[in-house]
């Protein structure tokens, strides 16, 4: 790992974001992944093209980046041959470096990735019968220290750039072979039944159909970069994925939730995990800053939420901690009190070395789910995936770094102290 200075952990003070316009590179070239067409045109003009030519080349390059998925300017056949070396000397089409790739027997895939400045993070692809979901990271490490989450034991190194975030989607499409081949139609030219009303492709046989900002990091503490990356993913001239197929998961950064609705407009998931102040203060310490009532009111105010686009409450099942019938009834009461269009994902806890909790029994999880279902709220139990490849958030990164249990405990204690 490089000597990049660690970001300040916010505790009861929100972190100051570190803006990065372009993904930094040692060779001085600019990585175009993560930049909108307008910014690409500006860079082309700074590099010597006149304004009209810069705008034209930016449009052409943008198409090749996001519709064709090319990683070499030489493959851009509608750009003059003399122009392609000029582009390659000044710019690059980046992807995160793959440090390790694992493929589970259940189809789950996990990648340990590395940034250009030497920091590792993770990405997971989870296939289901009717969808394929890519779990995307937003930070190297995490701002927060949720006690049940393995990533919570890691220091926050830095925010991922927009390029490093959208680069994960690009890399996944590379790995799944989902770019149009030579002679095939572009995504925007597909038949109408394969394109939904928001301009994105539907589940038409592709493996990657959905994205969740639910990997390493708290996405709302990296708001600008997450927003800019998702705008490229949703852009009809970009990756053209509908906002209805994208979900952003937050632990409850209340002030940014309204911005998320206004500026991004994707589906919202909330890592709730407890229904009392005492328990949530312990397992999701940001609750000490933004309490359950404030969080649920922000959910009630979330623009765009409806019965057709329900808010998802993530609820990890921890034995004898948050899994009683009384907890289930209180969860129902809170959802109905705030009149939330909601569903609940019950997640069997995936233990990791040094974890302070155990997973609830199957019987206890079933009872909890039944109580919520009987109240008219969907509460499916998530099927554990990828356990043979350390698919839980943060596990592969820690394995690569070969930290001892004692070191993990020390890091967690440091973070707990910093968070206050």
Question: Does residue 276 lie within any of the structural domains?
Answer: yes
Name, in order, each residue with C-beta under 8 angstroms of 333's C-beta and a sequence gap of 6 or more. none
- Residue 15 lies inside a defined structural domain of this protein: no
Q: Identify the domain boundary among 46, 73, 92.
A: 92
Using 50, 70 and 90 to split pLDDT, how confident is the model at 23? Answer: low
Distance CA 82, CA 274 (A): 61
Host domain of residue 62: 30-92
Q: What are residue 125's DSSP bridge partners? A: 109, 134
Judge whether 109 and 125 are in contact, CB under 8 Å.
yes
Please check whether residues 139 and 242 belong to one and the same domain.
yes
13 in a domain, yes or no?
A: no
In a domain, residue 43? The reply is yes
Question: In this predicted model, what pLDDT tens digit does every residue of 186-222 receive, in sequence order?
Answer: 444 333 334 344 434 344 456 899 999 999 999 999 9
- Kindly state whether residues 62 and 172 are assigned to the same domain: no
Confidence (pLDDT) at 149: 87
- pTM score of the predicted model: 0.85
Do 273 and 370 share a domain, yes or no?
Answer: yes
Q: Of the residues 92, 120, 135, which one is the last residue of a structural domain?
A: 92
- pLDDT reported for residue 419: 57
Residue 180 has pLDDT above 60, yes or no: yes
Does residue 385 carry a pLDDT above 50? yes
- CATH for 105: 3.20.20.70
Residue 17 placed within a domain:
no
pLDDT tens for 142-177 read: 988 888 888 877 888 999 999 999 999 999 999 999
Q: Which of 135, 146, 149, 393 is catalytic?
A: 393
Establish if 20 belongs to a structural domain. Answer: no
- Residue 192 belongs to some domain of the structure: yes
Which entry of 97, 122, 278, 326 is annotated as an active-site residue? 122
Place of tokens 């001892």: 404
Active site residue 149: no
State whether 308 and 388 are in the same domain: yes
For tokens 């539907």, name the residue.
202
Q: Tell me: do 181 and 300 sit in the same domain.
A: yes
The predicted pLDDT at position 14 comes to 46
Which tens digits make up the pLDDT trace of 312-358? 999 999 999 999 999 999 999 999 999 999 999 999 998 877 788 99
Would you say residue 412 has pLDDT above 70? no
pLDDT band at 403 (very low <50, low <70, confident <90, very high): low
- 53-94 pLDDT tens trace: 999 999 999 999 998 999 999 999 999 999 999 999 999 999
Percent of the chain with pLDDT over 70: 80
Active site residue 45: no
DSSP string, 261-301: HHHT--EEEEE---SSHHHHHHHSGGGGTS-HHHHHHHHHT
- Taking all residues of the chain, what is their mean pLDDT, rounded to a whole number? 85
pLDDT of residue 144: 87
Q: Is 309 found in the same domain as 405?
A: yes
pLDDT at 373 over 70: yes
Do both 151 and 207 map to the same domain?
yes
> What's the confidence (pLDDT) of residue 404?
62
Q: What is the pLDDT of residue 399?
A: 55
Domain count, the chain: 2
Q: Are residues 188 and 81 in the same domain?
A: no
**By percentage, how much of the chain surpasses pLDDT 90?**
68
Domain limit, last residue, from 52, 72, 92: 92
CA-to-CA separations, 53 to 41, 45, 47, 276, in angstroms, rounded:
9, 8, 12, 60
**Any domain includes 25:** no
Please tell me the distance from the alpha carbon of residue 344 to that of residue 369, in angstroms, as a whole number: 9
Q: Residue 181 — pLDDT band, cuts 50, 70, 90?
A: low
Residues 28-45 have pLDDT tens digits of: 899 999 999 999 999 999
Q: What is the pLDDT of residues 282-299, one digit of tens each?
A: 999 999 999 999 999 999
């Amino acid at each position: 790992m490089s000597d990049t200075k660690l970001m300040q952990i916010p505790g009861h003070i929100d972190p100051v974001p570190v803006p990065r316009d372009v993904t930094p590179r040692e060779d001085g070239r600019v990585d175009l992944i993560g930049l909108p067409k307008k910014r690409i045109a500006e860079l082309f003009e700074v590099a010597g093209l006149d304004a009209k030519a810069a705008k034209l080349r930016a449009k052409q390059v943008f198409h090749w980046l996001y519709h064709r998925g090319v990683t070499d300017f030489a493959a851009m056949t509608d750009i003059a041959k003399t122009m392609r070396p000029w582009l390659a000397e000044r710019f690059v089409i980046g992807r995160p470096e793959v440090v390790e790739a694992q493929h589970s027997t259940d189809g789950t895939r996990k990648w340990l990735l590395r940034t250009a400045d030497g920091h590792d993070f993770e990405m997971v692809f989870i296939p289901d019968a009717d969808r394929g979901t890519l779990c995307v990271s937003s930070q190297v490490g995490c701002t927060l220290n949720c006690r049940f989450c393995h990533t919570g034991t890691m220091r926050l190194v830095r925010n991922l750039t927009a390029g490093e975030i959208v680069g994960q989607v690009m890399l996944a499409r590379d790995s799944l072979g989902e770019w149009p081949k030579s002679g095939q139609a572009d995504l925007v030219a597909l038949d109408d039944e394969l394109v939904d009303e928001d301009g994105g492709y539907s589940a038409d046989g592709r493996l990657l159909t959905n994205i969740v900002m639910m990997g390493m990091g708290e996405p709302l503490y990296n708001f600008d970069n997450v927003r800019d990356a998702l705008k490229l993913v949703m852009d009809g001239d970009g990756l053209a994925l509908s906002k209805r197929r994208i979900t952003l998961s937050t632990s409850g950064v209340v002030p940014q939730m309204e911005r998320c609705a206004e500026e991004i407009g994707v589906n919202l998931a909330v890592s709730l995990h407890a229904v009392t102040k005492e328990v949530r203060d312990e397992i999701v310490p940001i609750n000490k800053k933004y309490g359950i009532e404030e969080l649920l009111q922000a959910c009630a105010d979330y623009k765009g939420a409806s019965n057709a686009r329900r808010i998802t409450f993530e609820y990890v099942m921890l034995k004898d901690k948050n899994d009683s019938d009384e907890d289930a009834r209180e969860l129902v009461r809170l959802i109905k009190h705030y009149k939330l269009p909601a569903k609940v994902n019950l997640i069997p806890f995936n233990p990791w070395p040094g974890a302070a909790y155990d997973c609830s029994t199957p019987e206890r999880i079933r009872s909890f789910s039944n109580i919520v279902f009987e109240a008219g709220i969907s509460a499916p139990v998530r099927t554990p995936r990828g356990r043979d490849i350390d698919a839980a958030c943060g596990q592969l990164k820690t394995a690569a770094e070969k930290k001892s249990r004692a070191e993990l405990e020390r890091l967690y204690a440091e973070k707990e102290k910093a968070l206050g």
